[in-house]
Structure 1
Amino acid sequence: MDIKQDFKEIFWEEAGLKISSQVPLARYSNFKIGGPADYFYEAKELVNLIKGAEVCRKYRLPFYVIGGGYNLLFDDEGYKGLIIRNLASMVKFIPGTGRVEVHSGTELGAVVDLSISEGLSGLEFLAGIPGTVGGAIYGNAGAFGQAIGDQVEQVSVLGENGEEIILKTGEIQFAYRHSSLKKDHKVILRVWLRVEPDSKATIENKIKDYLAKRASKHPP
């Protein structure tokens, strides 16, 4: 059986999900560069992201998970396999823990919005940074001397057998705009970030200050 020829059917039969074929990747990169992916799927829930990865592994079809596509360069020849665009979005504060739980496809802006509405400090520096939480963890995104890795308590990644593996912060190496998760090509599922209570006014003022500094350094 020609796996690539029948993969759309296999994906539907195995995972109950529809995928597209020959999708131009340039539209999913801020550089607007990239040829077509053999197959493409947008996972709006973590369970579907996991299903897609499991089917690919079962049939040995290469796959790559993307988020917002910022600072991501695709080859002009495209991608020979399945591109999974991670749109799995969820962010919530866990009362009494000092933690925010976030699904990896969540936009950073949504995390900042929650920090304002719930009066949670520690993530203000993320304001104005594009992309998703998964991508931010991968590249240890940050600004003004702070990085998201500083706030990470634990991260869950997809195991080789489809299981969710929890990694404590001590098991992850963060460096300037880099992490061991990126080096090891881990598929990030969920992230828990440390926060502290503060007044909404104070948090909003910090965010305004960061946005003003960002605008002065990166004018439109």
Structure 2
Amino acid sequence: MDDDGLLDDWVLGHARTSRPKVCFVPTASGDAPAYLDHFFSAFQSRACEPSVLPLFRRELDDAALGRFLLSQDVVYVGGGNTANLLAVWRAHGVDRLLREAYDRGTLLCGISAGANCWAEGSHTDSFGPLTFLPDGLGLLSGSVCPHYDSEPGRRSSYQAAVATGALPAGWALEDGVGALFTDGLLTETVTRTPQAHLFQVEPDGENGVTERALPCRLLPEAQ
């Protein structure tokens, strides 16, 4: 949900219908009201049907929760605390429902913690200092590291986690980058920020890593 909306439009362009139902899940921020307002401000004017799933003040019973999530075309997960997000989802059965939604063709996406959650593991500040979290839904193999270029220590800390095997090889995203995975394979990379990259980071077998920058298509209005 950047101010220019370029990545939001890119996400909607990959939905399975021309007017998708888009559910924002703000669990990682504790359902912060300002974050909900920001989502609606960004999506109400677009060709979609926006909604929000709050879990800290949950209103839906299990059956209604399942019907609601499985009816969505896009599930958009916000940033915040990845570890807390995963714990709350599991307490409410949302992890299971998202797996089922994914199997049915729902587009799952998100930023920061909302990108971390889909992989087997991630790089996070959920516990204060930057560290590795060998936990996630596992819908995407490997690990994810957001904010690769914008937060001091991210790059070196993530590389150390991959080098030692604390995290599996994975994907490091600079701010403004979007990556689309289809059936677990990377099929498209874009950016709203000139010169930003997605990196593939793998252990090199010598207590280090190899880092490969992948080309990202600059979204048109950002040129």
TM-score in same-fold range (> 0.5)? no
Q: Give the TM-score of the pair, scaled to structure 2.
A: 0.27
Q: Which has the higher contact order (CA 8 A, sep 6+)?
A: 1
Q: Give the TM-score of the pair, scaled to structure 1.
A: 0.28
Higher Cα Rg: structure 1 or 2? 1
